Structure 1
């Protein structure tokens, strides 16, 4: 089934936050810190307040008492630092909002920002990392014949959505209607209500079309709160839309972790112990999901492998930079890249083929249960994934061709990766109703940023009720539709939100059958057979009380679904320029029960492209004074069409999840987990004749050229 969302978007008829223009709408802009850390010594706004078209200029002193932004304490004893709506006495990063200007036009607001006198005395925000968590389990069963060490330094990356952040707040009676480009409308509602000290039922949050998110729109921001405060203060709609530079400076960023470890194995290449150290930079404040990447990285290890003894230490610390948060993959790539580098280096040390050493050390994932550190892990047939990868990639032939090309002087490499990924915990809501005209309306507490959620949900409802998807209208992203919800993040929506939608549809089917006095409902796209008579859906709606035509469900997953997969990458490096070409990728994914293969394929391709960017080109960079060096696309290198692999083979080997009734697992983040370790292993394999040192990320053409031509200079 093709995506029902696409026709309007392709015709330019999408409705994004910045497209919405209520009568009397005015515009907010922000004066931002140009210094990474220091004390505010001067902040004079009188001239700005007197400029034409300016309605208000706000500083922290004007805001009164407000609540604190929430942080999900996934690691209970870890430090948290809520944001300031506007900087009070000190600034903590470049781009932090210091003053807010509201004016009749954007241009007037921007002009007024330039009239504010701001002086900051440079200071320091020392990074004092502290150990915040540890995962341990098992005991080594043999002495190590080989001890392998590896380190992966992940570059910071920007969640580069097509639509930057945006917010529009409208006063409605005593409350607010807030349009936000967000992944989590219900969380946004609750956060705004708490910070503004008003009741949640006075706040309605709507996420219209959202042009991408990737974790960057998972948490509320200071700008969102300031827009809402200004709307309440002025009694007028207030809108703000970030520029690309705003997002580079002040939106949350991802990755940026440093991970290292040692892997012991015996003389037969069987792993005996893993020790890992993870360091995560938190940036200047902690968004709601700040600790999700660190927690995921720690709890995933040792990945799909049966390692008798595992110890993982996690430390975290603040820095005078943009805040760090979830980014597509959220800790899973960090875990996968470390363990997969260690496994490849172990294969080399033991004189074993990389695929074979993986086979020797697999945990049996066919039955769900706890891993060595106690984490409950879902079903997955890892041996079958490796077999499928070997066959689809024609692995032996690739190795033979690689040897021939190397003998001819080419720099070529092949890398493999095997991964597992947790796909969200908790609950989600759904409501399904039979309407008077015989159509069905479905509402979900989840939301969408381009995944095709309306298409998949219509299919789930239609299958459960025995109708066609065109009879089902799907609503999402509006807190007025349901009492509560979670949203779209952590690859949880189909597994948890889809299960809620399926359960609500099944409940509605049972209610209709009971109200009609039939034991078993025989339905078709046009209606239901009742005691030998066919009744259309509109006729049924007319016969039933409203309560029988409406079903709600809150589904709580008893366990977390875990997806898995295997990938192979083949690369070639030009020794004269260092330019890497990804020649081929073969990827076998296990996303459990698949609702719509077309949507899954789109998610795989998108994640693949984003994963390539993390390995080959993307990096947020600061200088020694905390100044952002990558504030535009002149400096920040997202992948282009020409950077995509020459050949890609995608295949699936699904095993149904044991964690939800739909049998679904996550897929939206898989490309950022599968592709980076496979490509990095391929690059390391390519340069192995020159050096065995670990490559830093991203592995740019300069980095690769130096590895080939001046390996002694690598650190």
Structure 2
């Protein structure tokens, strides 16, 4: 069966329907339940005392006054903890020196905002007041900069003779991309609640990975997995910033166990900006060699990534992704790519929507536009000459990655046709010749969408409904809706008859969670397997109940039927013999399935942007955005549109507005929304979205979609701005493309400097 045939059935399909999100009525009417909404009887509140230096010896922590404050139950410092282990770091490359988290600073402060003490009190206000009474003595230490920073990760990818390619090249171009550090900034800041009153330590975390958090807690606290339960209730966004366990999570769980009471902590927005994981921050340099007719012949790239003061689970993922994705959608076998992770004294840097994919696309797409400029070729034509042709898929890249499927030519053709590209380019050129600062930019990208395994269970309940549980979790993507559509499609039932459970380690199967755009392709494939397995059980049992061959049984919204006979779902469930042992959740039929992906599903897309810069103020205006995305088989077009537009908003924020700024002493200068610029609704332009479906070779045929907007949109916007400035201005321009930076670039004296070598 072809992947695209997985959902083919007569009489209509749940797959491809713009089914309204089943989660929304509850969330939009205030019925959502986030960690801070939970208030067990007797709940205590925890507040952290944080370091005010980025690097210092911790000489003394004075807590006596805080302990005596009204309502205070306890004050803890590192010497109280006696922890047993460390949180895991995913060693995806060979050369990694893990830098584990510290729950509370001991001996040395490693980052501004690092927790030094924890105050537990009867109320949040009492804990905050007492925290003000804790004092510490710090002896500042030097803050290594640049090449003085310790290297904690190295990786390299090579193929072919790069030196020979550059020696023989007709032209070479080079770029440097400096990415600002950015904050994931979900609507719900981080939060943790734990209850240590029973034999089981129950923790409610605002997390993307409840099962991983449980495993980390077991290691750190020295407890067995069976004595820990982690629940992710409603989670108000994450974007990678809640993919790993935090020191604060561990402290709350430890305090709850120590005090045998419920303990809760909820971050303020400033705490999240100060101490939550950050994204991007890379400084990437590359040069590209080309033949006279514009064929890529060689690529050199050096990728430097900040790792912060400690490593979350996926710390090495951004650098690894950027390196292995290059040269992206282009057929180029000769590469020399090296990546490094550099430890510093700022907040940890982890995965953030895209996690290395945007950096790879930005580097490659800027090179492509510079090459088109150097060779006087149309940027679209240059890309078309170098894309991986359809016949080469699955394609083994120069970095050893297998790109499963794509139609890159189709993406470019659609973009050209739907935007009227030749005429649009001529219009932009004419406006620029008339004195306007306006430009057109393109980007073409590929993105790997998760690997590994995911689990699912599915049961028929006594009332004739179905309960589906997934090891994936949800933070607003519409996961419950998509899972119900998969089950409904496979069993032929109504999606409203399917209850979807997730996020609780006690009631859901072990799973990876929601990250890397993996939940539909991998988690959905696991649920598809479970639905097929349950369907087989139902058909066999229905054949016995109806006295007909299995082949005569049909499943539908109203129950099981055969010619001349029918049983409604509840009646059918009542006819089943009692199971030999109780089934999970009280089901009458139940299956468990695990799906392990043979490889990653690779999405792809192409973007076009037209940007005008106000000559007097430098303010950029995005006049036009067009985007062709290929996410394989689309389960729900409305959910996909929401994911694309949400990712686009974050990609636009990174390109034009966002950036965390530290001074030379490691102090954060952008610790609130007064200084850290997020895009508002009025800042987000309309986008023309076009769909292409190249099925992935997984059971569903789906690929990832949630990160695409952060990948393709920033590169197209940057290239449009470079085009608007012209070849002799803005060569050193970097993101975010703020009005001040653009105004200064427009004011530069045109002074051509050779960025190419031609023979």
TM-score normalized with structure 2 length: 0.92
* Unaligned runs of at least 5 residues, structure 1: none
In the alignment, which of 76, 86, 100 is matched to residue 104 of structure 2? 86
Aligned pair 1:333/2:358, yes or no? yes
In the alignment, which of 146, 154, 157 is matched to residue 135 of structure 1? 157
In structure 2, the residue matched to 1:296 is 321
Q: Is the 8 A contact 1:92 1:125 kept in 2?
A: no
- What SS class does the counterpart of residue 347 from structure 2 fall into? coil
* d(CA) in 2 for partners of 1:692, 1:635: 25
Shift of 1:340: 0.3
In the alignment, which of 256, 259, 271 is matched to residue 231 of structure 1? 256
In structure 1, the residue matched to 2:493 is 467
* Deviation by residue 1:543-595 (Cα, 9 ceiling, x = unmatched): 22446710110100011100000000000001111100111100000000110
* Unaligned runs of at least 5 residues, structure 2: 1-18, 544-548, 754-759
- What SS class does the counterpart of residue 159 from structure 1 fall into? coil
- What SS class does the counterpart of residue 463 from structure 2 fall into? coil
In the alignment, which of 210, 235, 239 is matched to residue 214 of structure 1? 239
In structure 1, the residue matched to 2:7 is none
Q: Is the 8 A contact 1:690 1:707 kept in 2?
A: no
* d(CA) in 2 for partners of 1:695, 1:176: 51
Aligned pair 1:671/2:693, yes or no? no
* d(CA) in 1 for partners of 2:296, 2:459: 54
Shift of 1:214: 0.3
* Deviation by residue 1:299-330 (Cα, 9 ceiling, x = unmatched): 00000001130110111110010000000000
- What SS class does the counterpart of residue 612 from structure 1 fall into? helix
In structure 2, the residue matched to 1:524 is 556
* d(CA) in 2 for partners of 1:465, 1:486: 26
What count of residue pairs does the alignment treat as equivalent?
713
Aligned pair 1:348/2:373, yes or no? yes
* Deviation by residue 1:73-117 (Cα, 9 ceiling, x = unmatched): 111221210011100001011110000000000111011111112
TM-score normalized with structure 1 length: 0.98
Shift of 1:136: 1.1
Q: Is the 8 A contact 2:730 2:745 kept in 1?
A: no
Shift of 1:714: 12
**Structure 2 counterparts to residues 270-309 of structure 1, below 5 A:** 270-309=295-334
CA 1:525/1:235 → structure 2, altered by over 3 Å: closer, same or farther? Answer: same
- What SS class does the counterpart of residue 696 from structure 2 fall into? coil
Q: Is the 8 A contact 1:259 1:278 kept in 2?
A: yes
Aligned pair 1:393/2:419, yes or no? yes
- What SS class does the counterpart of residue 218 from structure 2 fall into? helix
* d(CA) in 2 for partners of 1:172, 1:459: 40
- What SS class does the counterpart of residue 736 from structure 2 fall into? coil
* d(CA) in 1 for partners of 2:197, 2:313: 27
Aligned pair 1:539/2:578, yes or no? no
Aligned pair 1:432/2:455, yes or no? no
**Structure 2 counterparts to residues 415-494 of structure 1, below 5 A:** 415-494=441-520
* d(CA) in 2 for partners of 1:713, 1:14: 58
Shift of 1:401: 1.2
* d(CA) in 1 for partners of 2:110, 2:400: 38
Aligned pair 1:594/2:600, yes or no? no
In the alignment, which of 33, 39, 55 is matched to residue 73 of structure 2? 55
In the alignment, which of 692, 699, 714 is matched to residue 653 of structure 1? 692
Aligned pair 1:550/2:550, yes or no? no
* d(CA) in 1 for partners of 2:46, 2:187: 21
**Structure 2 counterparts to residues 53-202 of structure 1, below 5 A:** 53-126=71-144, 127-129=149-151, 132-139=154-161, 143-202=168-227
In the alignment, which of 545, 563, 568 is matched to residue 608 of structure 2? 568
Q: Is the 8 A contact 1:138 1:373 kept in 2?
A: no
In structure 2, the residue matched to 1:363 is 388
In structure 1, the residue matched to 2:756 is none
* d(CA) in 2 for partners of 1:525, 1:369: 42
RMSD: 1.5
Q: Is the 8 A contact 1:707 1:714 kept in 2?
A: no
- What SS class does the counterpart of residue 282 from structure 1 fall into? strand
**Structure 2 counterparts to residues 607-646 of structure 1, below 5 A:** 607-645=647-685
In structure 1, the residue matched to 2:741 is 703
* d(CA) in 1 for partners of 2:429, 2:713: 23
In structure 1, the residue matched to 2:3 is none
* d(CA) in 1 for partners of 2:315, 2:749: 37
**Structure 2 counterparts to residues 23-34 of structure 1, below 5 A:** 23-34=41-52
- What SS class does the counterpart of residue 94 from structure 1 fall into? coil
